[in-house]
Structure 1
Amino acid sequence: MQLDIRAQTLLKALVERYVADGQPVGSRALSKISGLDLSPATIRNIMADLEEMGFVASPHTSAGRVPTPRGYRFFVDTLMTVQPIDESTLESKLQLRFAGAGSSQKAISSAAQVLSSLSQFAGVVMTPRHESVFQQIEFLRLSERRILLVIVAPNGDVQNRLLLTDVDYTPSQLTQAANYINQHYAGFSFDQVRTRLQNEIVQLRDDMTRLMQAAVEAGSAAMSENEEDVVISGERNLLGVSDLASNMTSLRKLFDLFEQKTGLMQILDMSSKASGVQIFIGGDSQLMPVDEMSVVTAPYEVNGKVVGTLGVIGPTRMAYERVIPIVDITAKLLSNALSPSRMP
C-alpha cells in the first residue's frame, strides 16, 4: 500500500523516536521532530489513517502510538537510512579478533561474540555444513602401540587423536600408511574413505588395513565431535531489554528458541539462500516465535561459496540502521577469515 510523502515522513519520525526512547509517540512530539509544517489536527488525521492501515497502534495506556510489525517492515524496506559507521576502525577491530582465532571454530565463536558486543544483543552464527573431509593425515609413534593421529582439514584446522593398536608399528610403516591415505583419499570424507578401504586395499597386509580402518573411525569421530549447528553469544543481554524481559511468555519462547535451535536454524538456513542482509521481524514473519523479536542476518562464504549465516537477535525496537552494517561487515570479514589462504 502506497503512503504519501507526509505519511512516510511521520511514520519514519515515529519509528525513530520510539526506537530511541521506547515510549509511545504523540502528535505534539511528531509535530516537533518531523520537520513538517502541519497542524496538530492534520497530524492526528494522518496518524489515524496509518493506524487504520496497520502501520501503527495505540496502546491503551497512552494517547501516543507505537509502530506495528508492518510499520517496522515498511520502515526498514523503504524509509530507513543506514547509519554511516567508521568501517576501517570496525574492520581493524574485527580483523584483530579473527587474527587471533587460530581455527575456523574459534573464528566463528569470535564472530558471535563480536556481533553481541557491538549490538548489545545476542550474536548468532550458523556453522558451516560440511562432511568430515580431510586434507592430510599423519601418524606419529608415541610409544609401543600408542600412535598419535594428526588430521588436517582443508581449512587448516588440526585435530589430534590417540590410537591404541594391537601391533607395534615402525615409523616407516606409519609413513607408508599415511602416504597411501594422503595420495589416494585426500579431499574425501572419512565416510567415503571407509567405503573405499573395504574394496581397494586388499593388497595391503592385514595389520596395515587395521591401522587405516582405526584411523578412519577415529578421524570421523574427531571431525564431527563438538560441532555445533549454531553458536550463540550474549543471550543474557536480552534480559535487559524491557520489551522482551517484561513479558515472561515471550521470554520463555525466546530462550526455548535458543535451547532447541530448530526454529533458529530455519531462519538462518532461509537467509543463507538469499544474498545480502535479511531482516526478520516478529509478528511480520511466521518464522519468528516472538512478536517482540527481530533477527538481522547475512550469509558468509568460503572461497566464494555460501556456507553459513550469521546475525543479531534483538527486540523489534532495535536500531536497524546501526545493526545492519555491523552484521554486513562481520559476515564479510568472517568470510575472509575462513578462507584457507587467510587462516593462520
Structure 2
Amino acid sequence: MLNDRAQRLLKTLVERYIADGQPVGSRTLSMHSGLDLSSASIRNVLADLENMGLVISPHTSAGRVPTARGYRVFVDNLLTMQPLEQAARQQLESELHPDSPQRIVSAASQLLAELTHFAGVVATPERASVAFRQIEFLRLSEKRVLLIFVTADGDVQNHLLLTERDYTASELIEAANFLNHHGAGRSLEAVARELEGELRNLQSHIASLMGAAIVAGQNTLGPRQSVMVTGEKNLLNSDDLSANLINLRQLFDLFERKTELLRLLNLSREAHGVHIFIGEESGLNTLDGCSVITAPYQINGQVVGTLGVVGPTRMAYERVIPIVDITARLVSSALSYPVEH
C-alpha cells in the first residue's frame, strides 16, 4: 500500500528510467514529480520504496532503478496509457486485412516487431488432427520398422519404429490391414479412443506394434501448434539486453527452441485482453530481464492463439500495450468471417 506521495515518486522514477536508462536520483525526482518536497524527504520515500523491494540502488550510483516488482506496481496501478499514433494504426489496418491465415499471422509478427522495435511473437492456431488414408509397415532390419502414413490429401509421412522384437513381413501386413480396416479416413486420435480397450485385450504379439504406430501417428499427424518469431535482432539494440551476451544468447536459443515460449504464450490464452509477464513472472530464467506482453486473438469469438512482443523490462509500456492490444483485435477481425445460419 503506497500513499499518494510514494505513488507519484515511483511513477516518476519508472518513467524517467524508461526514458533515460540512467538511475534516477532525488534531484531528478524533485524536478519532474511535481511535488514540493525537500531532497531529504524524497530520499526517505526512496528508502521506503527500496525496503518494499520496488526499487534498488546500483552500487555505482546514488540513484535508483525499478525492480521487476516495481514495474509490476507501475503497470498495474500507475501507468498512463498513450493512444496509438495514427500512422501506426493505419499501418496495422492496411496490412492486416482478410487473407490466408498464414499470411495474417506472418504479417502480425512482422508488424509487432517493426512498431515496437522488439521481437514480435505469434502462437499460430492449432492445426487440427489429420485423417489418414492408409498405413503401411516396411521392415528395414531386425527390430527396425519404417511406418508410412498416407494422409487423406495424399501427403506421405514416414516414421522409424524401434521395436522390441523382430516382425515378419506377414505380421506387418496383418497389423497394417487391421489399422486400415478400423481407421482409414479418420484421425488417429479417434482410432486410439475406439481401439484402446481392444488393443489392450488383444493377445496377438502385433498389438504392441499397432499401439506404437498409433502413438507415432498422433505425434506426426495430431494437433500441432507453432510459434512465429520476427525481429529477434532488434534486441541487439537494447543496451539492457546486449550488455550480457550470455543471457542474450540464451534468449535467442529460447526463440529457436520455441517450446517454452509456446507454453508461456498459451498461459495467456484465457486472459481477457492484454497480459504482461515481467521478469521472473514468466517462470523462465532466460526471461528474467525481459517483459512479455501478450494478447489472445480469436476466430469468430473462439480464442485460437496468442500474439505479443518480447523486450527488455525497461520498455515504453504505455505505447507497447496498445500496439499489442490493437494488433490482436485486428488479427481477430481479419481471421473471422460471417457465420451462416
Question: Is the TM value for this pair above 0.5?
Answer: yes
Determine helix, strand or coil for the equivalent of 2:96.
helix
Q: How does 1:134-145 map to 2 (within 5 A)?
A: none
CA deviation after TM superposition for structure 1 residue 265, in Å: 1.2
Matched residues in 1 for 2:296 and 2:190: separation?
Answer: 33
Distance 2:225 2:114 in 1: 21
Quote how far apart the aligned CAs of 1:274 are: 1.5
* Residue in structure 2 matched with residue 26 of structure 1 by the alignment: 25
Question: 1:241 and 1:315 mapped to 2: Cα distance?
Answer: 7
Question: Deviation of residue 224 (structure 1)?
Answer: 6.9
Q: State the shift of 1:262 in Å.
A: 1.9
Which one of the candidate residues 231, 235, 238 is aligned to 1:238? Answer: 235
CA distance in 2, matches of 1:267, 1:228: 13
Question: 2 CA distance for matches of 1:91 and 1:32?
Answer: 34
Q: Structure 1 residues 194 and 296, CA, compared in 2 at 3 Å: closer, same or farther? A: closer
Residue 82 of structure 1 is matched in structure 2 by 81
Contact 1:114–1:123 (CA<8 Å) still a contact in 2? yes
1:135-174 to 2 correspondences below 5 Å: none
| Residue 90 of structure 2, aligned match among 85, 89, 92 | 92
Alignment correspondent of 2:270: 273
> Which of residues 128, 153, 156 in structure 1 aligns to 2:125?
128
Match for residue 6 of structure 1? 5
191, 203, 207: which one pairs with 2:187?
Answer: 191
Quote the Cα distance in structure 2 between the aligned partners of 1:288 and 1:327: 24
The CA distance in 1 between the partners of 2:46 and 2:189, in whole Å, is 66
- CA–CA separation in structure 1 for the residues paired with 2:259 and 2:32: 42
Question: In 2 relative to 1, CA 162–276 (structure 1 residues): closer, same or farther, beyond 3 Å?
Answer: closer
Structure 1 residue 284: Cα displacement:
3.9
Rounded to whole Å, the distance in 1 between the matches of 2:43 and 2:51 is 12
Does residue 336 (structure 1) correspond to residue 333 (structure 2)? The answer is yes
Where does the alignment leave 5 or more consecutive residues of structure 2 unmatched? 132-151, 157-184, 192-216
Quote the residue 1:56 is aligned against.
Answer: 55
Name 1:42's counterpart in structure 2. Answer: 41
**1:72 partnered with 2:71:** yes
For 2:46 and 2:283, locate their aligned partners in 1 and report how far apart those are by CA, in whole Å: 27
Deviation at 1:10, TM superposition (A): 0.3
SS in 1 for 2:187: helix
CA distance in 1, matches of 2:305, 2:232: 20
Residue 323 of structure 1 is matched in structure 2 by: 320
Q: 1:194 to 1:266 in 2, by over 3 A?
A: closer
Equivalent-residue separation in structure 1 for 2:336 and 2:285 (angstroms): 32
- Residues in 2 aligned to 1:321 and 1:300: alpha-carbon distance in whole angstroms: 20
Q: Deviations over 1:261-281 (max 9, x none)?
A: 122112101000221100001
Q: Using the alignment, how far apart are the partners of 2:189 and 2:13 within structure 1? A: 61
Aligned equivalents of 1:285, 1:39: Cα separation in 2: 39
Aligned to 2:293: 296
RMSD: 3.1
Which residue type is aligned with residue 84 of structure 1? P
**TM-score, normalised relative to structure 1:** 0.71
Q: CA deviation at 1:328?
A: 0.3
Runs of 4+ in 1 over 6 A off after TM superposition: 160-163, 192-195
Native 8 Å contact 2:99 2:335 kept in 1: no
Whole-angstrom distance in 2 between the partners of 1:284 and 1:61: 27
Shift of 1:98: 2.2
TM-score under structure 2 length normalisation: 0.72
The aligned amino acid for 1:50 is L
Alignment partners' CA distance in 2, 1:98 and 1:78: 32
1:111 to 108, 112, 118: 108
**1:308 CA displacement:** 0.4
Q: Number of matched residues?
A: 269
Q: Residues 66-95 of structure 1: CA distance to partner in whole angstroms, max 9, x if unpaired? A: 0000100000011001112246x5443223
What SS does the aligned partner of 1:280 have?
strand
Q: Which amino acid aligns with 1:97?
A: E
Does 1:253 find its partner at 2:250? yes
Selected match of 1:305 from 298, 302, 306: 302
